[in-house]
Amino acid sequence: MAGLLAAIRLRERGDEVIVLEKGDEIGGTWRDNRYLGLTCDVPAHAYTYSFAPNPDWSRYFASGSEILDYFRGVTDRFGLRDLIRFGQDVVSTRWIDGGWTAETRSGETYRGDVLIAATGVLHYPRFPEIAGLENFAGDCFHSAQWQDGIDLAGKRVAVIGNGSTGVQLVSALADVAGHVQHFQRSPQWIMPVQDFAWSAEERERFRSDPEAIDAIRYDPEYIANVRRFNDAIIDPGSDAMTLIESFVRDHLETAVTDPELREKLRPDYRAACKRLIYSPSYYEKVQSPNVTVVREGINHVEPAGVRTRDGMLHHSDVLILATGFHADRFVRPLQPVGRAGQSLDQAWERRATAYLAISVPEFPNFFMLNGPTGPVGNFSLIDIAEAQWGYIDQLLDLLRNGSASEISASHAAMDDYEQRRIAAARTTVFASGCSSWYLDAEGVPQCWPWSFDRFFEEMSRPDLGAFDLRNTGGEDQS
């Protein structure tokens, strides 16, 4: 998503662009994830580029395959395929002689003045450390490595993991599998949402009247919900958090009729401490007679199934690992080496961070989209990436007009930003007492801990005093 955005905007400015893509097709997370029940929890009309609305979404919440089709269509519409080098898995990038050199696993070398890392966050699967996993006799795979064509009808399917993926999988499998076992270490708070199909007449109206799309994309209620959610994150004692907690608590109390199951599904942490799950049907599906919620810890896996710590063997034909991703990788697979031979691993030895989620000191002309410390949550990351690109493009103008040849955040700006960010992040709901992929190794949320308005204000215009600006001769202009 972010790489296509950068390519479109760079080409519009007349810059020479090469996009290095590790896969054999575009799509990022929507290419790699194809699991049953995959949807986006952001309304489809809001999950598009601002400059490329889609009147043909079939539902309010689009499926993964439909979103992938959207990005393919944008790629073709903007003529990006001639810019993309598919199958080029970048293994190292290095700042050499005033520019970036990128080497790929296939042995290709590319050279550029600027390196844009639009690699996303959740793309390296995390496999659980469960004894005996390799001994399972049936099909066993990670949700991000879906076995296309697998027949799950009537099968006993075990799902390990209870994030958005696990919830979506179980909701879909309940209508397909013979029996579904949902193994979860901790339950999730579920925010109720309504999903529905757009009629042919409505889609025709969207095609003929773009303002009808804007009315959904910029719906005041949707915008208010996004702001309310952000307010709740940064101030767990706010009225916004009280409202969110009342929604999810009432949903659990009223939607789950069996008191024993209700308690199994009751989290022991505050709402939104983990990424809040939006689902129109999980509580309904998990009460189906062919679905079992398993809270007992897993002891090991045997050829016939999963043995829990209470000694029970849960017989299974298929084992699906919905266990998430290595969220701390960010751009690390690129192995960037910046000025004076410093590697990004060295710069991030303590934690992954970047000034305003975009720039790292001593890594000139290296900019990130959706990098560490950026906004995360239940909203469109396309909007975040577009705002970040507006900021980056203004920095690139300094390179275009010759005002500077090397641009990176200054150490002073980075240190000040990180000190303020960490202090604020420790007071967010993400730090209120649960484990999640939002936390770094020290338990500090890797997120933007301030308001949405403040983020977009920051993105509107760079403070050049926060950057180390150098000319070709290396003179410091900051």
Span 159-204, pLDDT tens digits: 999 999 999 999 999 999 999 999 999 999 999 999 999 999 999 9
Nearest to 438 by CA among 277, 297, 272: 272
337: helix, strand or coil:
strand
From residue 400, give the alpha-carbon distance in Å to each of 14, 380, 397. 10, 30, 5
Q: Which domains does the chain carry?
A: 87-124+344-470 (3.50.50.60), 133-321 (3.50.50.60)
Nearest to 39 by CA among 29, 25, 54, 49: 29
Return the DSSP state at 185: S
What is the separation of C-alpha 379 from the centre of its chain, rounded to a whole number of angstroms?
10
Q: Which residue has the tokens 């949402």?
A: 193
Portion of the chain with pLDDT greater than 70, in percent: 99
How does residue 473 score in pLDDT terms, banded at 50, 70 and 90?
low
Return the DSSP state at 199: P
Instruction: Compute and round to an integer the Cα radius of gyration of the chain.
Output: 23
pLDDT surpasses 90 at 262: yes
How does residue 475 score in pLDDT terms, banded at 50, 70 and 90?
low
Pair 411, 339: CB distance under 8 Å: no
From residue 466, give the alpha-carbon distance in Å to each of 336, 343, 356, 359, 478. 22, 22, 11, 10, 8
In terms of Cβ atoms closer than 10 Å to its own Cβ (0-12, 13-18, 19+), residue 79 is exposed
In terms of Cβ atoms closer than 10 Å to its own Cβ (0-12, 13-18, 19+), residue 237 is exposed
With residues binned 3-state (H G I as helix, E B as strand, rest as coil), the percentages for the chain, rounded to 5, are: 35, 20, 45
The more confident residue out of 260 and 325 is 260
Strand spans (E) along 143-294: 156-160, 179-183, 190-192, 277-279, 291-294
**pLDDT for 321:** 98
From residue 127, give the alpha-carbon distance in Å to each of 62, 166, 326. 27, 14, 9
Q: What tokens were used for 436?
A: 């999640």
What is the separation of C-alpha 335 from the centre of its chain, rounded to a whole number of angstroms?
21
pLDDT surpasses 80 at 477: no
438: helix, strand or coil:
coil
Task: Compute the average pLDDT of residues 126-155.
Answer: 96
**pLDDT for 476:** 55
Task: Compute the average pLDDT of residues 354-366.
Answer: 98
- Taking the complete model, does pTM exceed 0.85, yes or no? yes
Nearest to 67 by CA among 59, 195, 142, 210: 59
Tell me the pairing of strands 305-308 and 298-302: antiparallel
**pLDDT for 343:** 95
pLDDT tens by residue, 202-222: 999 999 999 999 999 999 998
How does residue 329 score in pLDDT terms, banded at 50, 70 and 90?
confident
Q: What tokens were used for 337?
A: 């080496």
pLDDT tens by residue, 445-464: 999 999 989 999 999 999 99
Q: What tokens were used for 205?
A: 């109206």
Contacts of 406 (CB under 8 A, 6+ apart): 98, 339, 364, 365, 468, 469, 470, 471, 474
Write down the mean pLDDT value for the chain: 95
21: helix, strand or coil:
coil
**pLDDT for 460:** 98
Task: Compute the average pLDDT of residues 94-99.
Answer: 97
Distance CA 35, CA 318 (A): 14
Return the DSSP state at 439: B
**pLDDT for 120:** 84
pLDDT surpasses 90 at 333: no
pLDDT surpasses 80 at 314: yes
The more confident residue out of 334 and 294 is 294
**pLDDT for 122:** 81
pLDDT tens by residue, 50-92: 999 999 999 999 999 999 999 999 999 999 999 999 999 999 9
pLDDT tens by residue, 247-259: 999 999 999 999 9
Q: Which residue has the tokens 């700042």?
A: 95
How does residue 379 score in pLDDT terms, banded at 50, 70 and 90?
confident
pLDDT surpasses 60 at 427: yes
Buried b (16+ CB within 10 A) or exposed e, 349-382: eeebbbbbbbbbbbbbbbbbbbbbbbbbbbbbbb
